[in-house]
Amino acid sequence: MRGNGLESNRQHTITTSLLPYQKATWKYSLQCLERGYHRIGPVRLRTGDIFGFSSAETRYLQFDDLLVFPTVLDVSRLLFPPEHPLGEIRGSNPIYFDTNRVVGQRDYQSQDPMKHIDWKATARAGTLQTKVFEPVVSLNMLIVMNGSTRDHSWQGSNRRLFERCVTVAASVAGLADQSGYTYSVISNAVASFTGKWINVPMGGHRPASFP
C-alpha cells in the first residue's frame, strides 16, 4: 500500500499454504481514519514447494486508487464575517436576471437603472420603457484555501493546522452544494495525485479532492 506524499510506502505480506488445485481469497474491510489519496499496489506473488527446492515469482504492476474525502462539518449555524457577503438573501433560491436575454418591456419605474431603459421602445411609446429580462437562479461562490501554515516555506508545514483548513474548505463546499450554489475551489496547495495546484473551475465541481 502506497500512501500520499507525506507518508512512506508500506508493505503488506500474506503467507499461506495450498494443496494442489486449491485456491485462497482474501477480503478486507478498510476503516478510513485519515483523508487523502492512497495507491494500493503493485502486487508481488511468490510460490514454491514446502522444502524450498524450487520457487517462482511474478509481479502485477497494476494498482488501485483509494480517495478518502475530508471531514465535512455542519457550518450552516456558524456566522462568518461578513455573514452575507453578497447581501441579504431571502429564500433558498435567489432570483437574478440575465441581462443578455430580453423578453419584453414595461413602463419605467424610479428604482430601475438608467442603463436598462429601452430607448427604441420609449420612442415608439412616447413614455420611458424599461427592458424586462429573463429571470435565472444563480449564485456563484469562490472558495479559496490558503495551504501555507508557516511564514516561510523552509519552516515546513503545520499538519494539524493544514488539516483544519482542509476541513473548513470542504465543509463550506458541502454547504454551497446543499444550498444549490455554483462554486469553485482554488488553492496554493498541491494535490498529491496530480502534482498541480488545486483548481476546480466554476460549475465543474465534484467532491472536492484535496492534497
Residue 179 and residue 82 share a domain: yes
Q: What is the DSSP letter of 34?
A: S
Residue 156 has phi, psi (to 5 degrees) of 85, -160
What are the contacts of 124-131 at 24+ separation with CB within 8 A?
129/105, 130/105, 130/106, 131/102, 131/104, 131/105
Is it the case that residue 98 has pLDDT exceeding 80?
no
In this predicted structure, what is the pLDDT of residue 137?
59
Is it the case that residue 32 has pLDDT exceeding 80?
yes
Is it the case that residue 95 has pLDDT exceeding 60?
no
Residue 75 and residue 168 share a domain: yes
CA distance linking residue 157 with residue 165, whole number of Å = 12
Residue 106 and residue 45 share a domain: no
Least confident of 12-21, 65-74, 93-102, 179-188: 93-102
In this predicted structure, what is the pLDDT of residue 34?
82
CA distance linking residue 142 with residue 149, whole number of Å = 21
Of 104, 136, 168, the position where a domain reaches its end is 136
**DSSP codes of every residue in 111-161:** TS-GGGB-HHHHHHHSS-EEEEEEEE---EEEEEE----SSSGGG---HHH
In this predicted structure, what is the pLDDT of residue 207?
43
Q: What is the DSSP letter of 44?
A: E
Q: What is the DSSP letter of 173?
A: H
pTM: 0.56
Cell 429573463 found at: 134
Residue 136 or 40, more confident: 40
The boundaries of the domain holding residue 130 are 96-136
Q: What is the mean pLDDT of residues 132-141?
A: 73
CA distance linking residue 143 with residue 183, whole number of Å = 7
Q: Are 2 and 40 in contact (CB under 8 A)?
A: yes
pLDDT band at 128 (very low <50, low <70, confident <90, very high): very high
Residue 165 and residue 76 share a domain: yes
Residue 168 and residue 75 share a domain: yes
Is it the case that residue 4 has pLDDT exceeding 50?
no
CA distance linking residue 39 with residue 8, whole number of Å = 12
Q: What is the mean pLDDT of residues 131-159?
A: 81
Least confident of 22-31, 43-52, 158-167, 192-201: 192-201
Residue 31 or 90, more confident: 31
Going by C-alpha positions, the residue among 59, 92, 88, 54 that lies closest to residue 175 is 92
Residue 206 and residue 148 share a domain: yes
Interval 147-178: pLDDT, tens: 888 887 778 888 889 998 999 898 988 888 88
In this predicted structure, what is the pLDDT of residue 149?
85
Q: What is the mean pLDDT of residues 23-29?
A: 88
Q: What is the mean pLDDT of residues 4-18?
A: 70
- Bond prior to 82 in cis (omega within 30° of 0): yes
